[in-house]
């Protein structure tokens, strides 16, 4: 091709920090390097952008995502830092430590980013390009590993490109230092609880902080009220794939919703993207309205419907 004979002014396949920031600000996805693995980034304040992460990864579940910040100041606008939490952040940020903290009122994050929880996992990554990108985008970025669901986490830009068959732009920062995901720690009053082992060693955290780092089994509840490990569930009991009985609240989907005073419709037009965007806020609303039982309309098991149904099934499962 004639095109290849002269060197182009700029490599059309190389995304710059400015281009990546512009994409993210426009609600598009862009993968970027961190010191752990490559992340599939989206504006964490934009619900549609965060939903594209799920669609692009083909992730069948809504897990809360780690929200990446440029610095402690950005993080403090999103969550409430106790003195202990601030000490932890100052000791290890930027670095491979995600800290789970209570959301600050007015935080502006999409609830799909925190999967409806009242806490958020925050991290300042230790990678010059990631930090430049976060500053240029000037907003927090949700970023799970940049691989299709079920595949290995990528540690090079080439792996990301191949994983998504070139459909996702990548900010190339060379190979990642660590290849291991961040350690996740929840600050619960004066306790530090490790929710996931990762690149930052437990002993290092315990020694630096001068207190033990408790371990929690995946799925166990943390003692503080409302601070479940990672899954929001409404207070009401749930009945799935059904229509409401008298006195029950109804989470509808599609046009043919029966008359009901305690009703929210995930999407009147039957749009799964809209339904996913509404899922957590509508469950919260029905809960706040005092629903004892929430009947849920059938939701197709295609596209984002898989993740919606997964979350509903888990919310409907018997509580221990
Ligand atoms: P990933 O971004 O895919 O590396 O994984 C994020 C992990 O962080 C999930 O597996 C969650 O269990 C955990 N996580 C994120 N936010 C929270 C939170 N608010 N509370 C507890 N765990 C969280
Ligand atoms: Mg992953």
- Any atom of ligand 1 within 6 Å of the Cβ of 229: yes
Q: What percent of the chain has pLDDT over 70?
A: 91
Ligand nearest, relative to CA of residue 53: 1
- The pLDDT of residue 189 is 93
Distance of CA 120 to the CA centre of its chain: 9
- The pLDDT of residue 165 is 94
- Any atom of ligand 1 within 6 Å of the Cβ of 66: yes
Pick the CATH number of 17-215 from 3.20.20.300, 3.30.420.40, 3.40.190.10, 3.90.870.10: 3.90.870.10
Ligand nearest, relative to CA of residue 116: 1
- Any atom of ligand 1 within 6 Å of the Cβ of 184: yes
- Edge to edge, what strands does the sheet with 237-239 contain? 237-239, 293-296, 249-252, 263-265
pLDDT tens profile 144-158:
999 999 999 999 999
Give CATH 3.40.50.11030 domain extents, the chain.
Answer: 237-315
237-315, which class in CATH?
A: alpha beta
- The pLDDT of residue 178 is 85
Mean pLDDT for each consecutive 10-residue tract of the chain (320 residues)? 41 83 98 97 98 95 96 98 98 98 98 95 98 98 96 95 96 93 94 94 96 76 46 89 93 84 94 95 93 96 94 83
- The pLDDT of residue 5 is 38
How far apart are alpha carbons 294 and 245 in whole angstroms?
10
Largest CA distance in the chain: 74
> Which atom of ligand 1 lies at the shortest distance from residue 229's CA?
21
Ligand 1 centre distance from Cα of residue 245 (Å): 36
- Any atom of ligand 1 within 6 Å of the Cβ of 153: no
- The pLDDT of residue 11 is 57
Ligand 2 centre distance from Cα of residue 144 (Å): 6
Ligand nearest, relative to CA of residue 232: 1
Give CATH 3.90.870.10 domain extents, the chain.
Answer: 17-215
């Amino acid at each position: 091709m004639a095109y290849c004979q002269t060197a182009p002014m700029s490599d059309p396949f190389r995304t710059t920090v400015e281009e990546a920031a512009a994409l993210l600000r426009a609600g598009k996805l862009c993968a970027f390097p961190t010191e752990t693995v490559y992340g599939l980034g989206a504006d964490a304040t934009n619900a549609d952008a965060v939903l594209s992460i799920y669609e692009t990864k083909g992730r069948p579940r809504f897990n809360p995502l780690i929200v990446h910040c440029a610095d402690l100041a950005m993080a403090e606008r999103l969550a409430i830092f106790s003195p202990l939490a601030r000490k932890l952040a100052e000791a290890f940020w930027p670095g491979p430590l995600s800290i789970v903290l209570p959301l600050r009122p007015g935080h502006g994050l999409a609830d799909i980013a925190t999967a409806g929880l009242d806490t958020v996992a925050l991290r300042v990554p230790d990678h010059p390009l990631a930090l430049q990108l976060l500053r240029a985008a000037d907003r927090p970025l949700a970023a799970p590993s940049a691989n299709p669901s079920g595949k290995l986490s990528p540690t090079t830009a080439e792996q990301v490109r191949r994983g998504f068959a070139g459909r996702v732009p990548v900010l190339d920062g060379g190979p990642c230092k660590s290849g291991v995901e961040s350690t996740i720690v929840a600050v619960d009053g004066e306790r530090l609880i490790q929710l996931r082992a990762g690149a930052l060693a437990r002993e290092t955290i315990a020694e630096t902080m001068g207190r033990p780092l408790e371990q929690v089994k995946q799925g166990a509840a943390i003692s503080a009220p409302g601070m479940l490990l990672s899954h929001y569930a409404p207070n009401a009991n749930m009945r799935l794939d059904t229509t409401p009985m008298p006195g029950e609240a109804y989470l509808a989907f599609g046009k043919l919703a029966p008359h009901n005073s305690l009703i929210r419709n995930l999407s009147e037009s039957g749009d799964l993207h809209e339904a996913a965007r509404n899922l957590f806020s509508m469950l919260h609303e029905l809960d706040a309205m005092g629903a004892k039982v929430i009947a849920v309309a059938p939701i197709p098991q295609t596209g984002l419907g898989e993740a919606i149904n997964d979350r509903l099934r888990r919310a409907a499962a018997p509580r221990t």
